Structure formats: structure tokens, C-alpha cells
Structure 1
Amino acid sequence: MRYSIENELFKVEVDECGAELCSILSKSTNFEYIWQADPNIWKGAAPVLFPVIGALKSGKYSYEGQSYELPKHGFIRNNKKVRLINRTSSRLSFLFSSDEETLAMYPFKFDLKVSFFLFESRLQVFHELVNTGSGPMYFSLGGHPAFNYPWKEGENKDDYYLEFERKENNSIFVLSENGLLTKKEKPLMEGTNRLALENGLFDKDALIFTELNSSEVSIKSKSSKGKISVNFDDFPFLGLWSKPDADFLCVEPWDGLPDFEDSDQELTRKPGIIKLGQGSIHYASYTIQIFEA
């Protein structure tokens, strides 16, 4: 079931299944800013990534001598056990808790609350993870919102680019065919804050930034003044991804990474993994702000 919040500028909808953002609709232009999950191209819209991000080597990991299997990006997305727990005119909150099914894949007890706050042109996606188990837990958490573009008739995708908050000097890890990190790197941005969204940019899968100076990035057009900005202060990594020739771009705040090809598959040594103590709470949010021309 979908639930909505709205103000004079936008109407936002979130699917209870997976606590997935599925619409940011402009009231002035009637433009839909979130990809509408066309199953013929990509059936997601903005899945929550937990307790791993990206692919595991052979789809498996080990913890305390036991082997476990997890799907890519974890088990929150498309999960029908997520429940709405709070709704106001400007806020929606959803809860997903560990159970026998999750414990078979991931041996940690938790409560994960995902909330959506709409204020003027900003939507904050807020995560609150509580370790309810009897020891430490290890996890990664992230977002995967997909934004539609072009925004106006007559514009082409070649008119669009990404503008980072600061100038970057970045190389990215080359991904293997099965989505794992290799030790090969290639330069992508050298002393610039702009990345052209040119054809072929995502032919080799996602671009994963691990050493950014910026904590905000904007999708912009050369032919209009509008932009979509994503602030990811609470997340050290950023993924960018699209299907080749698809009219969307995923801007993904991450606090973990896929496995390396040579991973020993031990969860406690997974790149970017976070250790959360018994009874502790992890907070992380990202904010989407839409500036209409």
C-alpha cells in the first residue's frame, strides 16, 4: 500500500513494501521526479539497502565460523513485512524488525525505522537502526533513489550533468562482470566538480566514489535553471548508476561497499562495514531538494 504526504509544492508517495520512495510529483508542472519502476527496464524506484550494499562474493559471507547467504543489497527492498508506524501531514515512518526469517540470513537482532520528512522543497530520508541483540552487529546501510530526466520537452540526456559541491580528483574501482570490486582503478574526475552524463557512462555498471571531498551533488541541465540536489553528509561513499539508454539516474548514498573479488567473505572485514554495539543506535539521513526552473 502507498502512503502520501504533501505540501503546496510536491506530493510524495512511499510504498509500505520495502519503505520505498515511489513518487515526488510537482504540483506546479505535474512532472514526476522519481522513476516509476518499469519492470521491463528496472523494477526499482528508491530501495533501502540493508544490511549489505552491492554484491557479496558468491552471494555469501561468514560470521563466527558460520556461512550465510544474502541477496544483492540485502533484504529490505520489496519486503512486505515493513509496516507504517506513524503518519502526519509532513511525515511517514516505517518499521522493519528482525525475525526468524532474517536471522537465518543475518544473525543479528535489530529494529530499523525509515522516516520521510517533507518540508518545502526538501525531502529528508532518515534511518534509525537499533541493535536489539545481545552483542555487536555488523551492517551497511544505503539509499538508491532513481530520478527521471530529462525534465522538459526538447531537452536531451546529453544536456545534463552532475555538479559536485567541491572540486574532485577521483579514480573509481572497476567492477567485475558480477558486480564485485576489482583492484583496478580508472581516473574519472581530475580537478573538476562537473561530470557529464554522456552516453556509455554506465556501460560497465555503477560508478562508486570512495574518497569524495563533497557531501552534496546536483543533477543539472545546460538548458534550464532547475536542479535536483542530494545531500549525503552521513554517508562516506556515493554510487551512481543507470541502465544504458534508460531515462533515469540513481544517486546512491552508501556507508558500505560491495565485496572485492579477492574477499575472504568474512563479514567483519567487509569494506566499509559498521560495527554497532549492543543497545546502540545508528542514525543516518540524506536529503533530496528539488529546485524547479
Structure 2
Amino acid sequence: MSALNWARLNNGVDMLAAVSEARFSEEWTRSQDVIQSETRQILRDHGASENLLNYVLEMKGYPRVPYFSSAWIGNEKERAHHGICYCLHAVGVKLLDDVIDEDQDVPNADLALGHVLIQHALARLPMDDGAGQFALQAWQKIWSYVVQEPRITIDGTEDWFRGAETKAGGMMEFYARLGARTARSLQAPEEQAARAMNLVGVIYMVGDDIRDWHALGERDSNLFAMIEDDQAERKAVRERLGRIREELQQILIHYPPAFDISPEVNRIARKWQDVL
């Protein structure tokens, strides 16, 4: 192949990548607007205070990242419907988690409205008896961990990663598996989509702990606090995050999602790997 043709090929690949990324950004932004609008309207209809509405408005990950679990749903309309439901559910879970943790300046009477968001999200999905039974059973392990979490002292990175795989990873995996039972146009095997989403959940939880260490001074059971003064442990965690990123990338290469999350999850993984 001549140098000119090679350059044209590379330019074509770059253009396709740019178009794909633009479509990703547009769809993700559009979904976030709908999620925020619907979340606040549902809460307002149930008597939420302005304090709670403002708290939800400031959320970053929960109204955004679970949308990725719909990435392999081929039909855009169906994908948006499922992704928005996953995010509504995740915001509801976050509010109930705050009741347990007691670490937010929002009354529990407001935070308890998280159950309304969870009900709305699940009611909107086309679930048969099998999907409904799955939804009940899949959350037992996650909620069991969430309820015990305030009483758990995590002293080592192995324990931390196990917890991350159960909680953040488990949530993202749950949405992918739920989609496998309720979506008509899924374009990847359930196990592969579920594994990819578990990895995404762990990556984002690494980032949450780094941010909480810097911004909130969090030290108890915090990943970064465990490794900040130990260069060998920092290197080990950095390498582990690299392996997680590599495994995730391999799944995305072999099973390309219709909603191309690759650039975003790679960017996030690289960002936290560099910080470590």
C-alpha cells in the first residue's frame, strides 16, 4: 500500500472514530437531561424538599454511568429506554445507601424516597416473571453488603477490590443482566456484557475513592488512603487497574457495543491509573 493510500486509510479511521465519539456524546448528554428531568419530577411529585432536589441535581456518577449497561442494545430507542431506567434505579439506590451511611446533609425522610425511583424504574421495564424473580434475587447479595458496609473496616486492597466488585461492579452487572432478560435487541452474550460492566463499576469506584480522599478527606476504608504512603502497594494497584482496563478493552473489541463506550471508559481508566 502506498504512503498516500495508507494516509487516506488512517484519515478514514480517524473520521469514523470521531463520528462515533460524537454520536456517543450526543446520546449520553441527551439521556442525562431526560434522567435529571424525570428524577426530579418524580421526587417532586412525592413531596421532595428543595434540599433533596438540589442534591440529586449535583450527582455525577449515578445518573450517568449506569446508562453504559445498555450499550449492547442495538435499537437506539430501546437502548435509551433501558439506560434511563437503569439510571433512575441507581439514583434511588444511592439515596437509600445514604440513609444507611448517614453521611449526607439531607433528612432521611427525603432520602427514603429513593424507593419510589426504584419502583418507577423497574415498573417501566418489560419484565416477565423470570426477569422479576431475577431482579429480586440478584439484589440480595448487593444489599447485604450495603447494609453491612458501615460496620466493615477494610484494611487491605484485596478486601477493597472484593467489595468494589460486589457493590459498584455488582450494580452495573445487574443492569446488564437485566437487559439480557428484558431487551429485544441485545448484541452481546450476557456473560460478556455482565463482566464488562462489573469491570466498569470497579474502575469508577477506584475514581470515587481517589476523589473522596482528596476532596472530602476520607480515610476510613478508602483505597487511596491504604496505599498513599506505600509505593509498592500503589504500583500493585496501578498494575491491577491496568489489567482491569485491558480485560475490559478486549471484551469491547470482541463484542463492539452499539453505543460505543470505549473512548470514555478508556479515558477514565487511564486517568486514575496515571493518578496512582
Give the structure with the larger strand fraction: 1
TM normalised by structure 2 equals 0.28
TM normalised by structure 1 equals 0.27
- Higher-Rg structure is 2
